[in-house]
């Protein structure tokens, strides 16, 4: 098996991190790999925000949990897992990671969700190849509605929130979950 395939098959979401700072040069390399993903009409509209400041991570962790809980209550079907997190002061959606990368697209994007998602996929694989762990954090999505978050992160109006990815050195072995068999619905030959 070639190195790229080995990297793809050995990646797994990491939810336990060493506190060590990720060097800026590595963060830049990982983001560059994200930026090099395929993107609709080559608009190159994906832009990034990095947060390493511990106070900010802690603040946005709590805000994201509360916002997610509000959204889930507003849906009329409060989620017990989200309610548990909301009442647990130690709950940490960022799993103790020392760095967080948020992905946005600027208004020139024609396929923002696809572009941003492909960027995250590239970043996860690039980071893994460099010995870092990552995890997509869907629970952070509520931050998109938080004016303080957008202001502090200098996200201009009109930019679309796409994703949140945590990054750092894994604390311990990466736990790789097995995948079920690939389902090919049809193969017309």
Residues near ligand FMN (CB under 6 A) are 12-13, 15, 93, 135-139, 177
Distance of closest approach, residue 42 Cβ to ligand FMN, in angstroms: 25
- Smaller CB separation from ligand FMN, 148 or 175: 175
Exposure string over 151-171, b if 16+ CB within 10 A, otherwise e: eebebeeebbbbbbbbbbbbe
- Smaller CB separation from ligand FMN, 13 or 44: 13
Residue 120 burial class via C-beta count within 10 angstroms: exposed 0-12, middle 13-18, buried 19 and up: buried
Give the residue closest to ligand FMN by C-beta: 138
- Smaller CB separation from ligand FMN, 103 or 137: 137
Given a contact cutoff of 8 angstroms between Cβ atoms, the answer to whether 65 and 91 are in contact is yes
- Smaller CB separation from ligand FMN, 138 or 172: 138
Distance of closest approach, residue 68 Cβ to ligand FMN, in angstroms: 9
Distance of closest approach, residue 151 Cβ to ligand FMN, in angstroms: 24
Strand, coil or helix: 13: strand
Distance of closest approach, residue 163 Cβ to ligand FMN, in angstroms: 7
- Smaller CB separation from ligand FMN, 15 or 186: 15
Length of the chain: 189
Torsion of Cα atoms, 83 then 120 then 178 then 141, to 10°: 10
Distance of closest approach, residue 70 Cβ to ligand FMN, in angstroms: 16
Q: In the chain, what is the straight-line distance between the N-terminal and C-terminal CA atoms, in Å?
A: 27
């Amino acid at each position: 098996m070639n190195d790229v395939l080995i990297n793809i098959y050995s990646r797994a979401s990491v939810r336990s991190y060493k506190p060590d700072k990720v060097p800026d040069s590595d963060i830049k390399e990982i983001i560059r790999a994200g930026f090099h993903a395929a993107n609709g009409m080559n608009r190159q509209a994906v832009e990034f925000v990095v947060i390493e400041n511990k106070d900010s991570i802690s603040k946005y962790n709590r805000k994201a949990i509360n916002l997610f809980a509000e959204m889930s209550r507003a849906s009329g079907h409060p989620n017990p897992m989200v309610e548990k997190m909301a009442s647990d002061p130690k709950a940490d959606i960022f799993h103790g990671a020392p760095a967080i990368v948020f992905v946005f697209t600027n208004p020139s994007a024609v396929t923002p969700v696809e572009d941003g998602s492909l960027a995250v996929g590239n970043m996860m694989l690039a980071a893994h190849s460099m010995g870092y762990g990552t995890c997509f954090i869907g629970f952070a999505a509520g931050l998109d509605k938080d004016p303080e978050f957008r202001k502090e992160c200098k996200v201009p109006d009109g930019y679309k929130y796409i994703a949140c990815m945590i990054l750092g050195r894994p604390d311990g072995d990466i736990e790789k979950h097995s995948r079920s068999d690939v389902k090919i619905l049809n193969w017309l030959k």
